[in-house]
Amino acid sequence: MTIQRYYYALTSSRALLIQMVFTLNAIYYVSNAGLNPLELVLIGTIMEVSVLLFEMPTGLFADHFGRKKSLVLGTLILGVAHVVEGSTPEFWAIALASALWGFGWTFISGAEQAWIADELDGKDLERTFLRGAQFTSFARFLGIGVSVGVATLYSPQVSIIVAGALLIVVAGIAFWKVPETKFVPVDREAGDNGFLHMVKTLKTAANQVKGNTVLATIAFVTLFIGLASEGFDRLYGAHFIVDYNLEEEKAVVWFGVLYAVAFLLNMLLLKIVEVRVKHRLGTALMLINLLIVFTMIGFAWVGNVWIAVALYWMTSALRNVNYPLISVLTNERLESKGRATALSMIGQLDAFGQIAGGPLVGLLALYTSIAGGITSSAILILPVVYFLWKMNHAIKTSKTI
């Protein structure tokens, strides 16, 4: 079994189980737990605060003790979080689960990319990340069917708990089966204490980002994507349920179809990018995010449910291309030493953006309308387009980045 297949199997199985939760959590939060728009956004903010606090320590953990150990531990914590989330449909339990989920994700964020990049010696990353994203989208597609089936037979709550339990099983299998052969820990220099060694690792990672135009641009892009994403992620479900008066029984099937088509479109779009956009990833990212601005605003205000569904599909498919393209641009320019820490630093900017942007969008939605909150999320993407345009211009005028 090639190392890419281990990567595809691990990321896909985890994605399938997480999608079992994400397909239904909008229904669970609104219909079962009765959360209002501000509480919906606060759930995400709590998660991102956890990410912000722990992204750097867990990145250091991965660089010192092993990327495999980090991603296995993270998958285990995600499973526990979903079991807690599904156990009690109350704000406090969901908030606690969100904090746990953010903590667990920081062990995976950066570590998984660093693990596969090291195992491949930094080669063939574009194909690996894009194909991995296609497998992940297909796994999410399957997860939708499983979640709808379990929810129809039992309830959304049962589906969430089952997914959490199976994530714990996946963590155990990964611990025993996933190989790690190329990891080299960041060693202390003679005379360094633990704190000084941590500071030196952080400086090494920060210097990699600051010394490269593309990496510095990706840092700004990540911040603004974070500012824009949290509001949309927490409000699109409420937009369908509240503004289009979906009943819980119909909502289960509706959300299943919404996610299924979105992931099929995403797989198609990723394949087009893999075949047609070689060495023009920056331009592709810029155009994709410009389209997202228009489709997101249209989704918020169109008024016709069928057109809104089509615009949601377009927005979701386009947004899911951002991550693999950014991963390729980032990992191709990072050195192995301190790679996980550098990736965690960039991930921390996403968390900070979501913490800052989420409550603002939630308050706008609470005191104006859900459509107004989604529109503000779209406006926050405009700086992403600008920074990517500047990066593309810099690439054309310099061969050193």
What residue ranges define each of the domains in the chain, with the CATH number in brackets?
3-178+199-397 (1.20.1250.20)
pLDDT band of 26, cuts 50, 70, 90: confident
Q: What average pLDDT is seen over the chain?
A: 84
Q: Are 302 and 311 in contact (CB under 8 A)?
A: yes
pLDDT computed for residue 201 by the predictor: 59
Q: Would you say the C-alpha torsion 113, 119, 122, 123 has a positive or negative sign?
A: negative
pLDDT computed for residue 193 by the predictor: 44
Q: Which two tokens stand for residue 272?
A: 């087009």
pLDDT digits (tens, 9 = 90+) for 52-69: 888 878 888 888 888 899
Q: What DSSP string describes 353-374? A: HHHHHHHHHHHHHHHT-HHHHH
More confident residue, 232 or 253: 232
More confident residue, 83 or 118: 83
Rounded to whole angstroms, the Cα distance separating 34 from 188 reads: 51
Task: With a cut of 70, say whether residue 197 has pLDDT above it.
Answer: no
| Lowest-confidence segment of 193-207, 222-236, 314-328, 382-396 by average pLDDT | 193-207
Task: With a cut of 70, say whether residue 202 has pLDDT above it.
Answer: no
pLDDT computed for residue 327 by the predictor: 83
Please compute the mean of the pLDDT values over residues 344-355 and round it to a whole number: 79
Query: pTM of the predicted model, to two decimals?
Result: 0.73
C-beta atoms surrounding 345 within 10 Å: 21
* Crossing angle between the packed helical segments 91-108 and 339-367, to the nearest 10 degrees: 150
Task: With a cut of 60, say whether residue 166 has pLDDT above it.
Answer: yes
Rounded to whole angstroms, the Cα distance separating 352 from 51 reads: 9
Rounded to whole angstroms, the Cα distance separating 289 from 225 reads: 9
Task: With a cut of 70, say whether residue 177 has pLDDT above it.
Answer: yes
CA-CA distances (angstroms) from residue 67 to 59, 74, 105, 114, 321? 9, 11, 13, 7, 24
pLDDT band of 374, cuts 50, 70, 90: very high
Task: With a cut of 70, say whether residue 186 has pLDDT above it.
Answer: no
Please compute the mean of the pLDDT values over residues 311-322 and round it to a whole number: 91
More confident residue, 162 or 254: 162
Amino acid at 237: G
Please compute the mean of the pLDDT values over residues 208-234 and round it to a whole number: 81
Amino acid at 44: G
pLDDT computed for residue 7 by the predictor: 93
More confident residue, 238 or 203: 238
pLDDT computed for residue 216 by the predictor: 81
C-beta atoms surrounding 124 within 10 Å: 11
Q: What percent of the chain has pLDDT over 90?
A: 32
| Lowest-confidence segment of 15-24, 75-84, 194-203 by average pLDDT | 194-203
Task: With a cut of 50, say whether residue 190 has pLDDT above it.
Answer: no
Please compute the mean of the pLDDT values over residues 117-144 and round it to a whole number: 87
pLDDT band of 209, cuts 50, 70, 90: low
Task: With a cut of 60, say whether residue 370 has pLDDT above it.
Answer: yes
Give the CA diameter of the chain.
67
Task: With a cut of 90, say whether residue 171 has pLDDT above it.
Answer: yes
Q: Are 104 and 74 in contact (CB under 8 A)?
A: yes
More confident residue, 399 or 398: 398
Please compute the mean of the pLDDT values over residues 68-81 and round it to a whole number: 96
pLDDT computed for residue 208 by the predictor: 62
Task: With a cut of 90, say whether residue 336 has pLDDT above it.
Answer: no
C-beta atoms surrounding 131 within 10 Å: 18
C-beta atoms surrounding 121 within 10 Å: 10
More confident residue, 33 or 383: 383
Q: Which two tokens stand for residue 116?
A: 């596969």
